[in-house]
Structure 1
């Protein structure tokens, strides 16, 4: 299946948004146009649409080994994260802080702040993984729920979830995880997490559907009130089109997962070998990482001109997590890992995916080389 892109853009920012699968979105749109009825209505047409939503919920329970009623659909990853953290506030009304990795998406920290939790940051290693010794010390001194994403938005580093889970459970604590970058990119040990989130736009299902898996059935877990949709967890008419897309693209991604990762692992090696020959530093190169993600420090100071130069050639990369890439702030992940602000400001992220071709990759490598030599 090929990308729908018919222009000359060479896209290397899959971690921000995966280009949509055109055949899937077109078939789901056709289905929506023929059956646009509000799933919350009382007619048989509405009930049929509600049944489709429940079928997707059932499908997710099957691929994750989770409980159907604990899967809640919302519209964005940010909403999904807010619902996840709201569940903590309901479970622990007097809790003032939680233990959090320093690599979370900005929406996770914002959700913690919104619900009155102070984040206790776990120390990080230059490898891009959290310091398990520090985590253990924090849990011993003052046990708190633990929040740690499974795969880094910027570095692609995969955290030691089994060890984190074991430490959390040893001290009787919940373990939540943001799976936005892991879902449909690598096999995910869902059973290790009490609660988690992921989003359709990260896998090629388009915008409009994200998922929260709640730690228990509890009607008091509620993102919005005012309606009984999503078992009263999130008022508002469900996006039947986006939810349908989410299931169908998930099916494709999981079916092709091994084949895709073999391809992307090969691309990653080709890319990183060349980048190192140009004087770039590959961050966390020897760690367990997503095969689609390369986070690097350029050997030049003029990163803005470098990015503009790539864009002029129709090539799109990123400076890091999409929540802040426009701001051009130093990557907080890199600062927590021990890199200097100057180094962090020279970092860019290249992320590939289902539609990336070797031809596109070679063009990217050539243009990076030309720009580095020109801007040195």
Structure 2
């Protein structure tokens, strides 16, 4: 597959958005342009598009060994997470709190607040792994559903999903997981989760399609109504182009997974070895992590100038923090792990993916050395 990135850009922010697989998306776009009909219509042309959506739903059901009717397509990962949390409100109308990891995407905490749930956060430490002891105590004292993402958006740390699942089943509780960073990057045992979400743009399928797997078939699972799309779970015309792209890119990514991860692990080792030599601290270095993710603390205070310097040289990395009105906030993940605010504000995330080359990595490390030495 040919990279869509221009020659003067070396991209290291795959955890935010994977660059699109242009050849696949162009094929899907051509299909859409010649068959743009509303999938909710009654003509045979519309029914053909509805058939494409159901074919994709069946693909994901077969892939995950889930039930087709429990999959709902939406427009974004945020919407997918909201639908997942809404299902808890339907199943447990009197529930006022759930047990949650301290590493979730902000959309999930916002969804919990929106539906009236207090997040009882699980303890953690500098490993970036939740405390199973604390989780068990919380389940023992007040059994409730558990929400824990599979892989950290920032740290890339993979949580002990099998152990979490065993504990939730011991206490008869549901286990939900945000799989946004895990899907298409590592092998997943979907049967561990009662509900989960993932999104197309995280794997290179472009924006516009995400999935929620609901814990059961229930007529009242929906964020908003007004139409009978998605088996009455989501009002709104489906994005047939994005949904078809989602399936085709997922098929391609999963077919390349083993070979790709060998390469990305090599790149991660090169990056971390050099950055440690330059005085950086690798977050959760000894924990199981995604092969593509390095989260580190720079040995300099001028992080913004470092990032600007990288961008001026065509190298795109990201901070480990939320950006609001250009004012950075300390990474909440790092604060929960026991790092100081000052350390958290010096963190950056380097994430690689399918189109990353050794030449890109060499350029990254050369410019990083130059800038760190300049600002020390």
**Do they fold alike, i.e. is TM over 0.5?**
yes
Q: For structure 1, which segment, 3-12 or 174-183, has the greater mean C-alpha deviation from structure 2 after superposition?
A: 3-12
Q: Quote the residue 1:4 is aligned against.
A: 4
Against the structure 1 CA distance between its residues 75 and 174, is the aligned structure 2 distance closer, same or farther, given a 3 Å change threshold? same
Q: Quote the residue 1:150 is aligned against.
A: 150
| Superposition deviation, residue 324 in structure 1 | 6.2
Q: Does 1:364 align with 2:364?
A: yes
How far apart in 1 are the matches of 2:321 and 2:167?
A: 28
How far apart in 1 are the matches of 2:236 and 2:34?
A: 21
1:81-101: CA deviations, max 9, x gaps? 000000000000000000000
Q: Quote the residue 1:329 is aligned against.
A: 329
Q: Quote the residue 2:295 is aligned against.
A: 295
SS in 1 for 2:286: coil
| Superposition deviation, residue 325 in structure 1 | 10
1:240-263: CA deviations, max 9, x gaps? 000000000000000000000000
1:214-265: CA deviations, max 9, x gaps? 0000010012200000000000000000000000000000000000000000
How far apart in 1 are the matches of 2:187 and 2:181?
A: 12
Against the structure 1 CA distance between its residues 67 and 324, is the aligned structure 2 distance closer, same or farther, given a 3 Å change threshold? farther
Q: Quote the residue 1:244 is aligned against.
A: 244
Q: Quote the residue 1:200 is aligned against.
A: 200
SS in 1 for 2:99: strand
Name stretches of at least 5 consecutive residues in structure 2 with no aligned partner.
none
Against the structure 1 CA distance between its residues 103 and 213, is the aligned structure 2 distance closer, same or farther, given a 3 Å change threshold? same
In the TM superposition, what are the counterparts of 1:283-322 in structure 2 within 5 Å? 283-320=283-320
| Superposition deviation, residue 18 in structure 1 | 0.1
Q: For structure 1, which segment, 363-372 or 312-321, has the greater mean C-alpha deviation from structure 2 after superposition?
A: 312-321
How far apart in 1 are the matches of 2:317 and 2:65?
A: 35
| Superposition deviation, residue 4 in structure 1 | 1.2
**Would you say the 8 A contact 1:16–1:322 is kept in 2?**
no
| Superposition deviation, residue 125 in structure 1 | 1.8
Against the structure 1 CA distance between its residues 113 and 330, is the aligned structure 2 distance closer, same or farther, given a 3 Å change threshold? same
How far apart in 2 are the matches of 1:164 and 1:232?
A: 31
Q: Quote the residue 1:102 is aligned against.
A: 102
**Would you say the 8 A contact 1:13–1:351 is kept in 2?**
yes
How far apart in 1 are the matches of 2:322 and 2:65?
A: 30
1:167-201: CA deviations, max 9, x gaps? 11111100000000000100011000000000000
| Superposition deviation, residue 320 in structure 1 | 2.5
Q: Quote the residue 1:217 is aligned against.
A: 217
- For this pair of structures, how many residues does the alignment match? 376
Q: Quote the residue 1:260 is aligned against.
A: 260
**Would you say the 8 A contact 2:156–2:293 is kept in 1?**
yes
How far apart in 2 are the matches of 1:287 and 1:92?
A: 35
**Would you say the 8 A contact 1:12–1:351 is kept in 2?**
yes
**Would you say the 8 A contact 2:322–2:329 is kept in 1?**
no
Q: Quote the residue 2:47 is aligned against.
A: 47
Against the structure 1 CA distance between its residues 260 and 317, is the aligned structure 2 distance closer, same or farther, given a 3 Å change threshold? same
How far apart in 1 are the matches of 2:320 and 2:75?
A: 23
SS in 2 for 1:177: strand
How far apart in 1 are the matches of 2:175 and 2:22?
A: 36
What RMSD, in angstroms, separates the aligned Cα atoms of the two structures? 1.0
**Would you say the 8 A contact 2:331–2:345 is kept in 1?**
yes
| Superposition deviation, residue 124 in structure 1 | 0.7
TM-score, normalization: structure 1?
Answer: 0.99
How far apart in 2 are the matches of 1:321 and 1:63?
A: 33
**Would you say the 8 A contact 1:319–1:325 is kept in 2?**
no
How far apart in 1 are the matches of 2:198 and 2:159?
A: 16
Against the structure 1 CA distance between its residues 48 and 19, is the aligned structure 2 distance closer, same or farther, given a 3 Å change threshold? same
Against the structure 1 CA distance between its residues 66 and 292, is the aligned structure 2 distance closer, same or farther, given a 3 Å change threshold? same
**Would you say the 8 A contact 1:153–1:320 is kept in 2?**
no
How far apart in 1 are the matches of 2:137 and 2:169?
A: 14
How far apart in 2 are the matches of 1:57 and 1:323?
A: 35
TM-score, normalization: structure 2?
Answer: 0.99
Against the structure 1 CA distance between its residues 323 and 66, is the aligned structure 2 distance closer, same or farther, given a 3 Å change threshold? farther
**Would you say the 8 A contact 1:124–1:337 is kept in 2?**
yes
Q: Quote the residue 1:348 is aligned against.
A: 348
